[in-house]
Amino acid sequence: MYKLRPYQQEAVDLTINHFKRTKDPAVITLPTGAGKSLVIAELAKMAQGRVLVLAHVKELVEQNYEKYISYGLQAGIYSAGLGRKDEDTKAIFGSVQSVANASDDFFEGYTLCVIDECHRVANEGETQYQKVIEKLGSKNPELCVLGLTATPYRLGLGWIYEYSHSGELRSNKPRFFKHCIYELPLTYMIENKYLTTPIKVDTPVTSYDFSELTEKGRMYTLAEVEELLKEQKRLTPLIIKNIINITELYKRQGVMIFSSTIRHAREILSYLPQDDARLVIGDTDSKDRDRIINDFKEKKFKYLVNVSVLTTGFDAPHVDVVAILRPTESVSLYQQIIGRGLRLDPGKKDCIILDYTGMGHNIYAPTIRERRPNKESVEVEVPCPQCGHKNIFWGTVNIDGEILEHSGRKCNGAGLDLDTMRPTPCGYRFRFKLCHSCGEQNDVSASECESCNTNLLDGDSKIKQAKLSKKMHVLRPEHIEFIEREDKNFRPFLEIKYYDCNAEHVSEYHFFNNESDFKRFNINFLRFHLKRPELELEVTQISEVLRMQPLFRSPSFVIARKQDKFWKVTEKIFSEELSSRYLSAQH
């Protein structure tokens, strides 16, 4: 009938184990081409009750169904668009729209609901998925809900589940899916020769500048894309010439070009060899479309330009160049586009990915994180000093790859309570805002203390207030000097001088006479000034501090208060406490 690959068997085993322990909805992440239909087939076989496999479009319902029955298994379809409403088979493949409107009887007897492309399930509200799951759950409170996706993220939402199988808390906010049970990286598929090796070329000759679109962090309109392309019109002929050169130089068989808009696609087509290129757009008649795709598969022409992504039902294994000329707002879309070139084909060694978007997506680590703080930032691995979890943060490294600094605030590690299957977050904070009334460590962006509800001023307000007061002085340090000195009793102390660009300065003083002095310095200075707070270095001598200077960072602002004739440093504001607007306005 069929035989599972080892990783498919592993995914099935882990799924069964999970649902034995809890009925929390869970996700399996498999890259495109990993053969999810075999996983579905095996789970359906093992399920005690009936199995409902949902998808959001009829093409996907049909494709999943066809694969399933090709293994010699029985199943039904419930989809108005496909003209079939079976209700009796153990396994039903349904489109969510049709199933949501099915009569109550339909929902009887299911123990497992599988949702394909589950990153589309919205987190809350009255969606069709929620409606279906509610109805299934009312018939069987023990219902298991399993989501499948290649990309477990959603634009504007981030990770679609809370807790990963690697022990990481992926979301602090509630998600419909609680766990990710299994995650297969694309590298595994490539290394084990299940998929073709992609060779990615970023900005092969030049690239469009779509940064204006991504900065908004939302979906953008066609009109916005059109406008940007109009401004950058001169780039398109260069880009197409480059695609043709690469195709000819490396003797490529099939080239898929993804364009932004219909106008853009037509323009692209006009620069390609006329007899060797075709165009498929959203409103291409389905007969024409099928003919074009067939001719492409039979290698009657080389360049296929398309606007709406050719995904469902489209499979041309010989594609060995993928050229991206459209902004790819979601990781999921980007992965789908790349996926077009990764199918195996006799004689095909690799697939060249030409990315002209300048967006710098990473094929292998398409993770959703906060925006890259600046161009020098790379992903760094930062082990938590409390739980050992290896956090991935944005950071900077030196020429030897050693971490210099990172922007991590809180450890993402979490332990799992095996009885309840609920994660307990580690909670270690790398950076925090200290509550002055109770000592609680709060997130740097918190406006109220988690523990005692005291108002916590943000950095911007502290500076604004200080600037209004005659007794306060606000200084923006450009340079810091560490000086070892002695008081009149010959006791050594450390003076730290903060100079601004006018060589004006304020100082703070630290003594190192006893235990409590060391402690005070470690808490008040080191914890905040260390570029890598997780190193938890402690010092007992001034000479040690002097040696450690390269490990310290500078505050963005120093606030001092006038006491008699002197200025006393009362507050230091670091970059993470300031709004980006405030930071950049001051530069």
Residues near Zn ion (CB under 5 A) are 384, 386-387, 389, 411, 413, 426, 428, 435, 438, 440, 449, 451-452, 454
Q: Which is nearer to Zn ion, 256 or 426 (CB)?
A: 426
Residues 272-286 as b/e (b if ≥16 CB within 10 A, e otherwise) read: beeeebbbbeeebee
CB of 469 to Zn ion, least distance (A): 24
The vertex-465 CA angle with 463 and 468, nearest 5°, equals 110
Q: Which is nearer to Zn ion, 455 or 580 (CB)?
A: 455
CB of 383 to Zn ion, least distance (A): 9
Helix (H) or strand (E) holding 287: helix 286-297
Q: What is the DSSP string of 474-486?
A: EE--SEEEEEEEE
Q: Which is nearer to Zn ion, 171 or 386 (CB)?
A: 386
Q: Which is nearer to Zn ion, 171 or 454 (CB)?
A: 454
Give me Rg for the CA atoms of the chain: 29
The 3 state secondary structure assigned to 68-114 is HHHCCCCCEEEEHHHCEECCCCCEEEEEHHHHHCCCHHHHCCEEEEE
Q: Which is nearer to Zn ion, 22 or 454 (CB)?
A: 454
Strand positions, DSSP E, 86-189: 91-95, 110-115, 144-149, 153-154, 158-159, 161-163, 177-183
d(C-alpha 579, C-alpha 586), whole Å: 11
Q: Which is nearer to Zn ion, 437 or 580 (CB)?
A: 437
CB of 444 to Zn ion, least distance (A): 15
Q: Which is nearer to Zn ion, 297 or 390 (CB)?
A: 390
Determine how many CB atoms are found less than 10 A away from the CB of residue 269.
17
Q: Which is nearer to Zn ion, 163 or 258 (CB)?
A: 163
Pairing of strands 433-434, 441-442: antiparallel
CB of 83 to Zn ion, least distance (A): 54
Return the structure tokens found at 349: 């060694």
**Nearest partner of 551 among 404, 432, 422, 389, judged by Cα:** 404
Residue linked to tokens 């943000």:
458
CB of 464 to Zn ion, least distance (A): 22
CB of 84 to Zn ion, least distance (A): 51
Residue linked to tokens 């169904």:
65
CB of 452 to Zn ion, least distance (A): 3
CB of 171 to Zn ion, least distance (A): 16
